[in-house]
Chain A
Amino acid sequence: MPTIVEMPRLTDTMEEGTLAAWLKGIGDKVSAGDPLADVETDKAVMTFESFDQGVLLALLIAPGDTVPLGAPIAILGKAGEDVTAVAEEQKKRLAGLLAGGAATAPQQEAPAPAKKALEPKSVASVAAIAQPPAPAPTPTPTPVSAPVVGDRTAPVDADGHRVKASPLARRVALERGVDLTTVAGSGPHGRIIKRDVADLEPSRRVAGAAATPLVREDTVVRVSQMRKTIAKRLVESKQSAPHYYLTMSVDADRLVSLRAEINAAQDRLKVSYNDLILRACVVALMDHPEVNVAWEGTTLRRFAGVQLGFAVALDEGLISPVVRDADTLGLIALGERVRELAGRARDQKLESAEYTGASFTVSNLGMYGIDHFTAIINPPGACILAVGALAQQPVVKDGQLAVGHRLTVTLSCDHRAVDGARGAAFLADLKTILEAPLGLLL
């Protein structure tokens, strides 16, 4: 059984060796400890003393050759032993190693691992080391609305400048829902410090809605301060405002044909059913100022104009931008304004004034095929209209069964501000307007 002599590691740092000279020739007897070859390492030319004994039967490399550690370089065996086949095999293995591949390494052990020190650390991915089994990460809540709150990360003001705040001030702002962009810092270089946020009046605090998505599997996610605010406000609304609900089915055949005509007649805006419904609400509210109100405990606020909120679904949740003074806008202008606000809502670029203070809100889940639903009032406005899907249905017309377009709307009203009859009168007018929709163009 011949012995394969491999390129030894003669220094701690060498990864390959260059043969300087063979110190024995073929046919020479070699004892353990005999100098076998001079090898040039990364440090110097060093003498390689054999670990094994036998007769030198084959030399696999020549002076000047550079081979990696563990590569076969010679064969020792008994005098006269035929090692032609073994030599061929080892030459193939050597060629493989030199080519950088593992090659065929038959019965031999795998080549010695080279010293690791200078190799780049082989790591599957940076991400794999970036997060060792650390404590469960605390998700940083992403504010749905843009330049808002005392998040842990440095907020940015409307001009894109980093807001300077002490870590403690940020934490206090986060807890209290204070918008740091509205706070003047009294510390060095305008740094916001604890005392700047600790005693703020409530109007400086952030309103608005945000949501954190829940992932497929049950995961306990720490809710954002925004989300907590939304929850609190919805509970407050549902618990403090005595809700009642009015539902009505609307014949939408003319709405359908009108929309088609409008969109055929102009290119400025592809009018949607939602645009028509929003405009219908504005028209109806102009006739019913007693519904465009807010309950304020000891007083009732009657809004000067229609501050029309509309719910927008985002990946992260829901937000209701507000079209200011919607009663001053025509159908097309209203539709454009709605798109502009919805677009910025999706980009999380709304300012807080743009999603607060709705006098009336419309929530449309028709695109999801919802027949009808009831919505929770979005304060300060006293009413919210929930819009179901516009769909073809079997209808009775003049005693005949026919196919018609129908739409179901449900009005949620705060009974403290809007009595049942008033709500009903508003809804009835809304139905009339939707069923004879030409007035929407006026």
Chain B
Amino acid sequence: MATMSFREALNAALDEEMARDPKVFLMGEEVGQYQGAYKVSQGLLEKFGADRVVDTPITELSFAGVGIGSAMLGLRPIIEMMTFNFSILALDQIINNAAKMRLMSGGQYTVPIVFRGPNGPAHMLSAQHSQATESWFCNIPGLKVVAPSTPNDGKGLLKAAIRDDDPVIFLESELMYNMKGEVSDAADYVLPLGKCDVKRAGKDVTLISFSKGIHHALGAAEALAQDGVEAEVIDLMTLRPLDMETIARSVKKTNRVVTVEEGWPYGGIGAELAYRIQHDLFDYLDAPVTRVTGLDVPMPYAENLEELVLPSPRDVILAVNTVMYRS
């Protein structure tokens, strides 16, 4: 194990996979000469050259499409969205081309592409640059959606995403790039897609989250433990497809669920989790599934309003109290 930042862990994953497979290349705005807007691609241009670390004009739609086209012919592109706020310009390509090509052609295409970059609210960027996009992508059959919460998971999952033969949306977090953690330096360290990770074991209530939300959940769990409540924290890691087995095992034990996400509530990840849990595990619930989400407004700039909009460990504790019938 080695201690490294999230940014370094992702960089290591890109480096290793590009070295491993010449069909892998990185394309996006400022990924080469500038060394990456968030420095995730630092040093890669020097190592792999301009043919494999490709700077693009500011044209998300077309370079997303170029990536998809090249994947249809067998390359394994990694398309960096400087932030996922700009992926909206490329949604037509991602939804109509990447996700659907296999089906529309009756199985003639494999589209092994990764769209990656920072996602989710950041700090004081107002409405257009600070939002969670995961629920949009999760709605699309044909896509896989991954959102790691630790440097170690980030590395193992990004390598898996690059090797996967389906299009993967890989969601990082600007505010976590500096987070440090122990990262495996095993020769071929890859985590499976489609599996949850139990980040903390507990018996009284299940907290389900992903990405930055995991840290709100873990913070709440620590505080609750002082109070004698043992929360189990499940990190989805892959948001689509969902690993319902791990979730079911936990819910059967705790009978209570709180979901935590930074995105908007309507049609969010928590909404899907609540549906599946009430459907599959109805008889194991002792309280309604409860969500902690961002507030249902575009992100305001002012710091105090931003803080109000975003979920916090305190919100998680309040939700836990509700599902545990604690006053």
Point out residues on A near B: beta carbons under 8 Å.
152, 166-171, 186-188, 193-194
Q: Are A169 and B325 in contact (CB under 8 A)?
A: no
**CA A188 – CA B285 in complex, angstroms?**
15
Over the window 77-109 of chain B, the binary record of Cβ atoms lying under 8 Å from chain A Cβ atoms (1 yes, 0 no) is 000000000000000000000000000000000
**In the complex, how many angstroms separate the beta carbon of A48 from the nearest chain B beta carbon?**
32
Q: Are B286 and A193 in contact (CB under 8 A)?
A: yes
**CA A186 – CA B324 in complex, angstroms?**
11
Over the window 277-288 of chain B, the binary record of Cβ atoms lying under 8 Å from chain A Cβ atoms (1 yes, 0 no) is 000001111110
Instruction: For A187, list chain B residues within 8 Å (CB).
Output: 287, 325
> Whose C-beta in chain A lies nearest to the C-beta of B325?
A187
Counting CB contacts under 8 A, is B290 at the interface?
Answer: no
Q: Are A167 and B325 in contact (CB under 8 A)?
A: no
Chain B contacts with A in 228-280, Cβ cutoff 8 A: 255
**In the complex, how many angstroms separate the beta carbon of B250 from the nearest chain A beta carbon?**
14
> Whose C-beta in chain A lies nearest to the C-beta of B322?
A188
**CA A193 – CA B323 in complex, angstroms?**
11
Q: Are B325 and A170 in contact (CB under 8 A)?
A: no
Q: Are A194 and B255 in contact (CB under 8 A)?
A: yes
Question: Lowest 6 CB-CB distances: which A-B pairs, in order?
Answer: A168-B286, A171-B283, A194-B286, A166-B286, A167-B282, A167-B285
Q: Are B255 and A186 in contact (CB under 8 A)?
A: no
Q: Are B283 and A193 in contact (CB under 8 A)?
A: no
Extra pairs beyond A166-B285, A166-B287, A171-B283 (9, CB < 8 Å): A167-B282, A167-B283, A168-B283, A168-B284, A168-B286, A169-B286, A170-B283, A193-B286, A193-B287
Kindly name the residue among B255, B282, B286 whose own CB sees the greatest number of chain A CB atoms within 10 A: B286
Q: Are B284 and A193 in contact (CB under 8 A)?
A: no
**CA A290 – CA B285 in complex, angstroms?**
51
CB within 8 Å for A168 and B255 given contacts A152-B283, A194-B286 = yes
16 of the cross-chain contacts (CB-CB < 8 Å) are A152-B283, A166-B286, A166-B287, A167-B282, A167-B284, A167-B285, A168-B255, A169-B286, A170-B283, A171-B284, A187-B287, A188-B325, A193-B287, A193-B325, A194-B255, A194-B286
**CA A187 – CA B325 in complex, angstroms?**
6
**In the complex, how many angstroms separate the beta carbon of A245 from the nearest chain B beta carbon?**
45
Instruction: For A169, list chain B residues within 8 Å (CB).
Output: 286
**In the complex, how many angstroms separate the beta carbon of B219 from the nearest chain A beta carbon?**
26
Q: Are B285 and A168 in contact (CB under 8 A)?
A: yes
The interface size of chain B toward A, counting residues with CB under 8 Å, comes to 8
Instruction: For A170, list chain B residues within 8 Å (CB).
Output: 283
**In the complex, how many angstroms separate the beta carbon of B78 from the nearest chain A beta carbon?**
42
Instruction: For B283, list chain A residues within 8 Å (CB).
Output: 152, 167-168, 170-171
Instruction: For B285, list chain A residues within 8 Å (CB).
Output: 166-168
> Whose C-beta in chain B lies nearest to the C-beta of A192?
B286
Instruction: For A188, list chain B residues within 8 Å (CB).
Output: 325
**CA A169 – CA B284 in complex, angstroms?**
8
**In the complex, how many angstroms separate the beta carbon of B284 from the nearest chain A beta carbon?**
6
Instruction: For B287, list chain A residues within 8 Å (CB).
Output: 166, 187, 193
**CA A1 – CA B325 in complex, angstroms?**
84
**CA A193 – CA B325 in complex, angstroms?**
9
**CA A421 – CA B282 in complex, angstroms?**
58
Instruction: For A152, list chain B residues within 8 Å (CB).
Output: 283
Residue of B282, B284, B325 near A186 (CB, 8 A) is B325
**CA A170 – CA B325 in complex, angstroms?**
17
Instruction: For A168, list chain B residues within 8 Å (CB).
Output: 255, 283-286
**In the complex, how many angstroms separate the beta carbon of B29 from the nearest chain A beta carbon?**
42
**CA A150 – CA B255 in complex, angstroms?**
18
Instruction: For B325, list chain A residues within 8 Å (CB).
Output: 186-188, 193
**CA A186 – CA B325 in complex, angstroms?**
9
**In the complex, how many angstroms separate the beta carbon of B307 from the nearest chain A beta carbon?**
29
**CA A56 – CA B283 in complex, angstroms?**
73
Chain B contacts with A in 277-325, Cβ cutoff 8 A: 282-287, 325
**CA A194 – CA B256 in complex, angstroms?**
11
**In the complex, how many angstroms separate the beta carbon of B189 from the nearest chain A beta carbon?**
40
**In the complex, how many angstroms separate the beta carbon of A115 from the nearest chain B beta carbon?**
23
**In the complex, how many angstroms separate the beta carbon of A191 from the nearest chain B beta carbon?**
9
Kindly name the residue among A166, A171, A187, A193 whose own CB sees the greatest number of chain B CB atoms within 10 A: A166
> Whose C-beta in chain A lies nearest to the C-beta of B281?
A167
**In the complex, how many angstroms separate the beta carbon of A224 from the nearest chain B beta carbon?**
16
Instruction: For B286, list chain A residues within 8 Å (CB).
Output: 166-169, 193-194
Chain B contacts with A in 113-158, Cβ cutoff 8 A: none
> Whose C-beta in chain B lies nearest to the C-beta of A165?
B286
**CA A109 – CA B243 in complex, angstroms?**
53
**CA A168 – CA B285 in complex, angstroms?**
5
> Whose C-beta in chain B lies nearest to the C-beta of A186?
B325
**CA A171 – CA B325 in complex, angstroms?**
19
Instruction: For B284, list chain A residues within 8 Å (CB).
Output: 167-168, 171
**CA A188 – CA B290 in complex, angstroms?**
14
**CA A170 – CA B282 in complex, angstroms?**
10
**In the complex, how many angstroms separate the beta carbon of A175 from the nearest chain B beta carbon?**
10
Instruction: For A193, list chain B residues within 8 Å (CB).
Output: 286-287, 325
> Whose C-beta in chain A lies nearest to the C-beta of B285?
A167
**CA A351 – CA B285 in complex, angstroms?**
29
**CA A152 – CA B283 in complex, angstroms?**
8
**CA A69 – CA B285 in complex, angstroms?**
56
**In the complex, how many angstroms separate the beta carbon of A325 from the nearest chain B beta carbon?**
42
**In the complex, how many angstroms separate the beta carbon of B109 from the nearest chain A beta carbon?**
28
